Amino acid sequence: MQRVLLTGASGGVGARLRNLLPAHYAQLRLSDLKAPQDLRAEEEFVAADLADMVQVEHALDGIDGIVHMGAYSVEGPWDTVLQSNIVGTYNLFEAARRKGVKRVVFASSNHVVGFYPRDQRIGVDVTALPDTRYGVSKAFGESLGAFYAYKFGLEVLCLRIGNVSDQPTNLRLASIWLKPEDLVQLIRIGLEHPDIHYEIFYGVSANTRGWWDNSVACRYGYKPSGDSETLLQGAREGQTKLQPDPIGDYYQGGHFASQEFDGGLERVPEKKR
């Protein structure tokens, strides 16, 4: 990879990657609706609304690989999710095809599988059970990535990202914690590994209390250095501040699953495959 585009550069995860990716990709272009407030003179930034194909194509000029973090990253009204995460993701993949981009790393989400119970360990081959409109949009993005990989030959890695932070702030986040440096390792596999055609990995560190089988990522050389077990004090303290949530505490998606949930624990299904 010579020139790499990072979308969503003004977001929380994007801000971390702005600092971590230049060590590996000297020609890093940033994009978002608006420039980061602390944009440095040496950083290249191109403003782009993902819902506008012309702007997306402009942002992709001369790009070899994309790290697509741009999205509406929480639950929201359907029209908002539609424009940002569905129309925007389509535009990103289609513009990549038109511009001859080689690789796309797509930031999917754990909320694609948020309706699996916490006591069920799952791999990447399970049926998608999204817990929100946001989760539905990320499941769409994974399917779109497969379409562009198999139909047009793009090389695509989808990362079902857990929680990227310096340390988890409650026990659910301790199960899905992703150390920022481990995220960079996953991105580098997606951009550089010669055997990537289309894959899904979980964006998670080697957490002792994790819920996901990430053996596919490990087959590609992923060796995570983080384990939330070393950071549990803050997670336990944060857990005491949360309100009881019987539905959210049952499902892997947490409060994303309990939002708008129509029913009670009697609606909880048997374990899914």
- Cα 18 to Cα 153: distance, rounded to the nearest angstrom: 28
- Cα 54 to Cα 261: distance, rounded to the nearest angstrom: 39
Assess whether 72 carries a catalytic annotation.
no
Whether 48 and 69 have beta carbons less than 8 Å apart is answered as no
Backbone dihedral region for residue 146 (phi beyond 0: left; psi -120 to 50: alpha; all else: beta): alpha
Count of Cβ atoms closer than 10 Å to residue 91 Cβ? 21
Query: Which one of the listed residues 25, 90, 134, 148 is annotated catalytic?
Result: 134
Helical segments of the chain, H only: 12-20, 53-59, 78-81, 88-99, 133-152, 171-175, 180-192, 215-219, 232-239, 246-250, 255-258
Residues recognised as catalytic? 134
